[in-house]
Amino acid sequence: MAGEYRLLLANARQLVLVCGHGEQYLLREGMARLDVLHDASLVVGLDGCIKAVGPADVIHRRFAGATFESKIDCTGKCVLPGLVDAHTHPVWAGDRVHEFAMKLAGASYMEIHQAGGGIHFTVEHTRKATEEELFTTFKHRLERMRRAGSTLVECKSGYGLNLETELKMLRVIERARQAMDIGISSTYCGAHSVPKGKTATEATDDIINNHLPKLKELQQSGEIHVDNIDVFCEKGVFDLDSTRRILQAGKDTGLQINFHGDELHPMKSAELGAELGAQAISHLEEVSDEGIAAMAKARCAAVLLPTTAYMLRLKQPQARKMLDEGVIVALGSDFNPNAYCFSMPMVMHLACVNMKMSMNEALAAATINAAYALGKSDTHGSIEIGKQGDLVIINSSRPSSHGHVVLRSSAGGQRIHRGGVAQGFVLRNCKNPMRECRAEQIMTPEAMASLEKRAHPLPQAAGESDLHFSLENALML
């Protein structure tokens, strides 16, 4: 039905603005407080942007004669900004369930990586997959993220490593950006790993001399849109010098710096990011005190990834110290074949339990600060006039992580998913058999034999795929 406005959300018991005065991010005190309106209403215009927010009686008087395409009675409900997932690897083929078993038996992430598995395994499968196959699974993953409340998601390439496959992944991301009703911030992550057969220096040269010029050309012709450049700055992957060269070259082509740093070893990534003007650095489990101070000063966001520390049994990032020292703390799901979590509510939950953040802090980190990490906090991350009308309505009068309705009011159309979100954990047995994931396809026989020997003590009863998928379901609200 035609109307002057797209949507009226009327009489919400609580409208959690997160912030309401044009803040680009929140620091510790602001995160602890959060701006909330009680008994409030909200109007979204035909362009998908928020036109009015305020006390219900004021909005009703002001819009008394107006027509709306939809009205939702939010009596007794709580409205939040759509959640922002600041770090995902959602385009890939090839299941890595066998590696979960290896990790449970004691193999580390890097041992598996160095033996030719991990990212290498996914690269092998992603290179072989068609664009259509990648798009189909990516679309499904984005739908599950949206059902869990995410309305803006950062999406990385990085399982191609060669130009051809990196571009295939970026085209898939571009296609979803246009076809799907979810916001996307696209990241070129061609330096996610050193491809087999190349040294780190050769890979760095290839990225700077071949990948980035081609990206620039495709950006200029409008074929793809890439927002960020990423590097996995890690011992045995890209060292600090190569990282610096790649990030600087990416920045010179107009990309925002947003990279993986100080995850498994202290690398001084935080110091480098602050120096280069990075918008954000992810992981930071091993960040130094100097790195924290430098990030606070440079207003470089820390994207913390609680699923990774949990899955890999890493030490937790020092969220409290970062908050105390004035760092902009954001959250991401790190969805990838190794950390299979679609759900930002679950990420917020882990941030509270394992990283000792408060619920308000976790919500700010998953909204305005995650939007800042993507350079999008002028349009996303809080409920404010002029911002995108991306909203989550929950069936509770207080902020909680149990989604009830997810609503995204984009210019392309409105989607309402009523009752489509589970109210808690779903632990069910998956009947999927093991798929094509035989590790020895790319691991050396010696490495495989040593890891398998360590895997034998595992209880066999549940079967590896059951373990994996049970975990997947537990992590998906």
Ligand X SMILES: N=CN[C@@H](CCC(=O)O)C(=O)O
Residues that bind ligand X (CB under 6 A): 89, 118-119, 122, 232, 260, 263, 308, 334, 336-339
- 157 vs 360 by CB, closer to ligand X: 157
Q: How far is the CB of 263 from ligand X (least distance, A)?
A: 6
Q: Pick the closer one to ligand X by CB: 184 or 231.
A: 231
168/260 with CB nearer ligand X = 260
CB of 69 to ligand X, least distance (A): 40
What minimum distance in Å lies between the beta carbon of 351 and ligand X? Answer: 16
Decide: 90 and 153 in contact? Cβ < 8 Å: yes
Tell me the C-alpha to C-alpha distance, in Å, between residue 304 and each of 189, 282, 322, 355.
18, 6, 10, 9
Nearer residue to ligand X within complex by CB, 121 or 469: 121
Contact 273, 252 (CB under 8 A): no
Task: Give me the DSSP letters along 209-256.
Answer: IIIHHHHHHHHHTTS----EEEEEE-TTSB-HHHHHHHHHHHHHTTPE
Q: In DSSP terms, which residues pair with 416 in a beta bridge?
A: 407
Compute the least distance from the CB of residue 334 to ligand X, in Å. 5
Cβ nearer to ligand X, comparing 154 with 263: 263
Q: Please, which residue, 88 or 256, has the CB nearer to ligand X?
A: 88
Instruction: Find the shortest distance in angstroms from Cβ 398 to ligand X.
Output: 32
Quote the radius of gyration of the chain (alpha carbons, Å): 22
Q: Residue 54 to residues 31, 384, 397: CA-CA distances in angstroms?
A: 21, 10, 17
- From residue 238, alpha-carbon distances to 64, 87, 201, 251, 310 in Å are 60, 19, 9, 17, 24
Terminal Cα distance for the chain, rounded: 33
* Residue with nearest beta carbon to ligand X: 338
Token pair, residue 169, equals 């992944």
Q: How far is the CB of 273 from ligand X (least distance, A)?
A: 15
